[in-house]
Every structure is written in C-alpha cells, then in structure tokens.
Amino acid sequence: MWLKIFWGTSVVVASAAIVLAVLLGHLTLRAPETLRALYRRHFDDPRRERLFLSSASFFVMFFVVRGITHAIHAGVGPFRDMTGGGIHIHHLVWGIVLLLAVGYAWLAQVGLGTSRSSIVGSRITAILYGIGAALTLDEFALWLRLEDVYWSREGRESVEAVLLFGGLLSVGLWGGRFLQGLVRATARVLRRR
C-alpha cells in the first residue's frame, strides 16, 4: 500500500515538476525579462528566496537520489555504490557534510543575503541546504534504526520523513504568489502570439 502511495505521489509531483519546467523554459526562451521581474517581485525578501531555493533543491535532489539508488539496486546504468576502504559510504554522509558546512557558513553569517554582496552566497547556501537535507533524510530509516533498511518495509520511514520535512520547508511556497504569477505571465506571453 505504501509503495502505491509513494509512486502515486511521485507521479503527481513529477507531473507538477514537468509543468513547472515547461512554464519556466517557455518564459526563459520567449520572455526572460518577464521571468526575471516575476522572480524579483516574488522573492525580494532573502528569507523567502532561501526557503524557495532550498525547497526546490530538496525535492529535485530527493527524486534524483531515489532514481540513482533504484538504478544501482537494479544494476542499471553507470551508477555504483561508493566505497572507501571496503566500507559502503551511504549518501546520508554527504548530506551531513553539506548540512554541517551550510550551518557553519550561516553561523559565520556567510550567505544570509543581508547585504548586496552576500546574495549569491545566500542562494548557494540555500540550495546546498536543500540538497544536504534530501541526501540525509532519504536515509532517515537507516539512522533511526542503525541498520540498512532502505529496501525493506521499514525503509518507507525515510519517504515519510522526506514528505514531512518537504511539506514544512515548502509551506507558503508551492501554489503561492510566484507560481500563480508564473502561470499568469506565461498566459500573457502566449496571448501575444
């Protein structure tokens, strides 16, 4: 049952991501200045922009890492498990490293977006935070149980943790003013034809 819910949710999220990518691609090619103005208008607050970027990178990385992990498990493609000294290095290790690095940067007040010079740093640290959180939470069941249960029934706890955290991270963003503005701007550009 959980597998059906996961795949059903995955299809909905993937469909929404495809629609969003098409809208973004269309505006990027046909009216890049409209997209820039729309982005600036809806993400003029650095905190809101960081939430958006970390949320987007979180979900993208979760689906990417799930896809790669499934490919490794099925023996498909060029992907292989990472090992060091004969030890399997789980991707949550890289997530923890990223979260520690971003946390340290924010403690040092790097990348807060409070000054003009730190806006790029703010965007980079927000994206890295989302990536690190996805890599870590994708293996939540492993660090909860201290055993590799990724492919067992208990492994669904990771998906539940991802959905819970992703929902919290995305509150007020998905379906918000920016996405509504994106749809309206795309419709205006299409009517110009």
pLDDT in tens, 144-187: 888 888 888 888 888 888 888 888 777 656 556 777 788 888 88
**Which pLDDT band holds residue 68 (cuts at 50, 70, 90)?**
very high
- DSSP H or E segment with residue 60: helix 46-74
What does the alpha-carbon distance between residue 136 and residue 162 come to, in Å, rounded to a whole number?
A: 9
What does the alpha-carbon distance between residue 174 and residue 181 come to, in Å, rounded to a whole number?
A: 12
Looking at the predicted structure, is the pLDDT value of residue 2 above 50? Answer: no
**Which pLDDT band holds residue 96 (cuts at 50, 70, 90)?**
very high
Higher pLDDT, 48 or 133: 133
pTM of the model: 0.75
Q: Strand, coil or helix: what is 173?
A: coil
- DSSP H or E segment with residue 162: helix 156-170
Q: Given this model, what pLDDT does residue 165 score?
A: 86
Closest by alpha carbon to 20, among 175, 193, 188? 175
Exposed, middle or buried: residue 92 (CB in 10 Å: 0-12, 13-18, 19+)? Answer: buried
Looking at the predicted structure, is the pLDDT value of residue 191 above 80? Answer: yes
How many angstroms from the chain centroid is the CA of residue 88?
24
57-72 in b/e burial notation, b at 16+ Cβ within 10 A?
bbbebbbebbeebeee
Q: What percentage of residues in the chain have a pLDDT greater than 90? A: 22
